[in-house]
Chains A and B, each alone.
Chain A
Amino acid sequence: MSRPRAAGADHPVALVTRREVTERVRAKSFMISTGIYLLVAMASVVIPNLVGDDRPVQTVGVAGTGSDQLQGAIARLAPTLDLDVRVRRLSDAAEAARAVRDETVRVAVVDTTRLVTRGDVDEQLGLLLSTAAYQVTAAARLAEAGVSPVEASRLLNPEPLAVQRLVEPRPLRESNRPLAFAGVLVIYLLLLTYGFTVANGVLEEKSSRVSEIQLGALRPSQLLAGKVMGIGVVAVVQLLLIGIPTALVALAMGSLSIPEGTPLTMAAVFMWSILGYGLYSCIFAAAGAAASRPEDVGNATAPITILIAATYFMAIAATQDPDGTLARVASFIPPMTPMTMLPRAAIGHVEPWEVPLAILLVLVMTYLTVRLGARVYAGGMRRPGPKLKLREAWQAAAG
């Protein structure tokens, strides 16, 4: 007795998804937000390249006796302390004092015995200059005492201690840190932005009653599935529109020092973005369906947004200490996994079983949130009018 769909008709979920994608990608707001994100991403790649090496050059004055030897000692020792120091020769103590006062030099050493400065001396720089001065005066004394220059040099530059390692060190992959940091930020922004897009989209359909025309023709779960998948596709499109040009520019800028883990880390960002969206989107949809006005959406989603923000801070901490206990524990709590497992795996050390297990846990959790979200959604869509308590929406879907 029922009416069949025409032979050429599409599956309703596919129709809802397609409508969602075309309408959203066409919207001006999508173009604008993509443009802004793209600019920010480009700037974060280009600006560090323009600024270049951020290690400052420090100019130091030398005057009086021992200046030649001191200059040589400073030049030899500076690289070992990771300092970039330029030495300027000054004629006497008076000129040294003037140069320090005029700030043409940062500090000046006079007669290898006196340090002239305007205020406090940078700790590293002070260490460099006192070591250099000590070597110069010590070498002079040793020469006076008849020690040969070769012997004196050996005495003043002892061999570093031989290290005996009992445990093999596991250095962090520092080069992946900036990308992991950016990846955490991307997932965080994506979850919030697209989570709210889902919640508001659902509320808009519910409050404009446009859902009523559709729910005659398809089930609430189909409308929900189409909505969530459609917005998910839009999120991926935006991620690619921002990520691909940024990656190309980074390559073109001749950042030859692209760390070897980059493609893998980018793939991980992509994967965790999608898993995270899947995990949270149906909960956002349920919040939208239970609301009746845009203001309600903020209240209904507050617990989720707080959880996401807390996870973000935990993930930032994980980029600093990826092998720490906090990061390890958080990465196995499914709602926190997408943001915290990323820096752990990219910078720190994970056992081969850890990432697959975390993915499995996230998928199990996603199954639960989809079931819960779909039920509350269906209940909310059947109860237009004032906003619903979670329990009411749940009950409205029963029976």
Chain B
Amino acid sequence: MPNEPIPADLYPGPVLGFCELTKRYGSLVALDQLTLEVPPGRLFGLLGPNGAGKSTAMKLVFGLLRADGGEVRWKGKAVVQSDRLGFGYLPEERGLYPKMRVRDQLVYFGRLHGLSAKEAASRGEHWLERLGVAERAKDRAESLSLGNQQRVQLAAALVHDPELLVLDEPFSGLDPVAVDALSAVLAERAAAGVTVVFSSHQLDLVEDLCDSVAIIHRGRLVLSGVVRDLKRSSGRRCLNVVLEGTNGAGDGAWAAGVPGVTVEHAGPEGTRLQLEPAVDALDVLQRAATAGRVVDFGLELPALSELFREAVRS
């Protein structure tokens, strides 16, 4: 059966590709020949400061904007309308019909994406149950709290069992419990072979959740890859040192003159240092010992947020 579609998770190579994608709003360049590839069946974080072009890139996947150059590809070919029936989208600004009943909306969105009425009803029910809003199925969307509306919105993105999920800031406005619940759902979807692309400002969360990330800045890709590889390949490490009797040592002054060391943060709770690749951490510790008694220390790879800041700065 040569025409049988290849499931996303078995697809060789990246499934979603942004190829030299350019989008201008008047004189403002939102995307400047953005080229980026997303591997299948992964949780993929799209990061970047405000105005970097994350939402624009996502809208281009759904044809909500017209690109000024380049194209979005799905499994190697330019995305066409029928591909999008298999995509799920959570827009940055949430959109539901305020006066429509929750269940009716899910059935409607499911059917628009090609499900039969019966299928749409049962899947809608499943996702409302799974996301913990089943008891609100008969209520109008406007009567739900913002958090619950967000769950319904997510159910609308999931109801047709998409192969690709594109979520614009899915965690914004959620409480920690809801963040955990959403993280679990996304991880489960990715494990089921769905390609999940989402944008976020909560870098700690992205670090915990994502296999791979891309950082875009001013419409261009500045860094992308598997999170662990990115951290290792940066060559940077962070050393946390806590000295006893912080008087005079808590400001990290003892480390100021050490070559290849940058004081990132200093305070009564300790000093956090960035070490250049060539610096031996033990030498730095010995230097610390001359300033006071070392009561605690730790060496770690840089946090994603540090890579992010560095990428955006350069």
Q: Do A and B come from one complex?
A: yes
22 A-B Cβ contacts within 8 A? A2-B5, A2-B83, A2-B86, A3-B85, A3-B86, A6-B114, A8-B117, A9-B116, A10-B117, A15-B111, A19-B100, A19-B108, A208-B95, A209-B94, A212-B64, A213-B89, A213-B156, A215-B63, A216-B63, A216-B89, A217-B85, A219-B81
Contact, CB under 8 Å: B66 / A5: no
Partner of A7, one of B82, B89, B96, B116: B116
Bound together, the chains give a CA A372 to CA B112 distance in angstroms of 26
Q: How many A-B residue pairs have CB under 8 A?
A: 99
In the complex, the answer to whether B65 meets A382 with C-beta atoms within 8 Å is: yes
Q: Which residues of A contact B63 (CB under 8 A)?
A: 215-216
Contact between chains at B5 and A3 (CB < 8 Å): yes
Residues of B with C-beta under 8 A to A9: 111, 114-116
Band of interface residues on A:
20 to 34
Chain A residue at minimal CB-CB distance from B67:
A399
In the complex, per-residue mask of B58-73: 1 if CB is within 8 Å of any chain A CB, else 0 = 0100111110000000
Asked if A12 is an interface residue, CB under 8 A from chain B, the answer is: yes
Nearest Cβ distance between residue A379 and chain B, in whole angstroms?
Answer: 9
Of A3, A213, A382, which one neighbours B66 at CB under 8 angstroms?
A382
For residue B201, CB closer than 8 A to chain A, the reply is no
Is B91 on the interface with A (CB-CB < 8 A)? yes
- Main SS of the interface on chain A? loop
In chain A, what residue has the closest Cβ to B11?
Answer: A1
Find out whether the CB atom of B62 lies under 8 angstroms from the CB atom of A1: no
Most chain B beta-carbon neighbours within 10 Å: one of A23, A212, A218: A212
A3 to B83, Cβ gap below 8 A? yes
Q: Contact at B114–A4, with CB atoms within 8 Å?
A: yes
Q: Which positions in B face A, CB cutoff 8 Å?
A: 5-6, 59, 62-66, 74-75, 77, 80-87, 89, 91, 93-100, 108-109, 111-119, 156-157, 163
- A223's nearest neighbour on chain B, judged by CB, is B112
A1 — which chain B residues lie within 8 A by C-beta? Answer: 5-6, 74-75, 77, 83
Q: Does A162 contact B (CB under 8 A)?
A: no
Contacts A2-B82, A23-B99, A215-B63 given: A8-B116 contact, CB under 8 Å?
A: yes
Known: A6-B114, A382-B66. A212 touches B5 (CB 8 A): no
* Residues of chain A contacted by B94 (CB below 8 angstroms): 209
Task: Apart from A208-B97, A217-B114, list 15 A-B contacts with CB within 8 A.
Answer: A1-B5, A2-B85, A3-B163, A5-B85, A6-B116, A15-B112, A19-B100, A23-B99, A209-B91, A211-B95, A216-B62, A216-B63, A216-B87, A216-B89, A382-B65
A3 contacts B114, C-beta separation under 8 Å: yes
Contact with B114, one of A5, A209, A396 (Cβ below 8 angstroms): A5
A214 at the interface (CB under 8 A from B): yes
**B-binding residues in A (CB < 8 A):** 1-10, 12, 15-16, 19, 23, 27, 208-219, 382, 396, 399
Distance A281 CA – B204 CA, assembled complex (angstroms): 50
Q: How far is B96's CA from A211's CA once the two chains are assembled, in angstroms?
A: 9
**Contacting residues, chain B, for A3 (C-beta < 8 A):** 5, 82-83, 85-86, 114, 163
Minimal beta-carbon separation of A310 from chain B (angstroms):
35
What's the minimum C-beta distance from A387 to chain B, rounded to whole angstroms?
Answer: 15
Chain A residues closer than 8 Å to B84, beta-carbon distance? 216-217
Closest Cβ of chain A to B1, distance in Å, is 13
